[in-house]
Amino acid sequence: MTIKRFPYEGLGRCEAVVSDGIVYAVATDPSLADGIIAQTQNTLNELRRILEAAGSGLAGMLQATVYLNDVRQKPNLDSVWLDWIGPETNWPQRACVGVDLDEGCLIEVVVTAKLV
C-alpha cells in the first residue's frame, strides 16, 4: 500500500493524504479573514486547491464534515457552500458540527474524496 502525504507547514500534520485511491483532506482559511462568509469562501477555495493538488476535485468528494465555531452560522455557510459545490453530481454526504476552534478560526472542513 502506497501512502502519499501533502505536508502542511510546520504543524505536524498533512493537509492531505492519499491512500488506495482515497484522498483525506482538511482546510481552514489561511488568512483568518473577518466573518464567517469570508472565512468560508477562503476555506472552500483552499479545499479545492488541496483536492486538485492531490488528484481529486469537487466531483470526487464523498464525505465532508464542517466544523463551525458557532453552529448558528450554518445558514451563512450554506449560502457560500451552494455556490461553491456546483451541480448535484458534486454533492457529498455532509455534516456540520459546532466546536471550539483555534483562536480566530471560524470554520474547518474535513473531506474524504476519491481520485478522479
Q: What is the CATH number of the domain that holds 61?
A: 3.30.1330.40
pLDDT score for 104? 97
pTM for the complete prediction?
0.96
Strand partners, 95: 65
| Residue 72 lies in domain | 3-114
Total number of domains constituting the chain: 1
- Nearest Cα to Cα of residue 16 among 64, 51, 61, 60: 51
Question: Using one digit for the tens of pLDDT, what is the confidence trace for 59-97?
Answer: 999 999 999 999 999 999 999 999 999 999 999 999 999
One-letter identity of residue 89? T
Residues composing the chain? 116
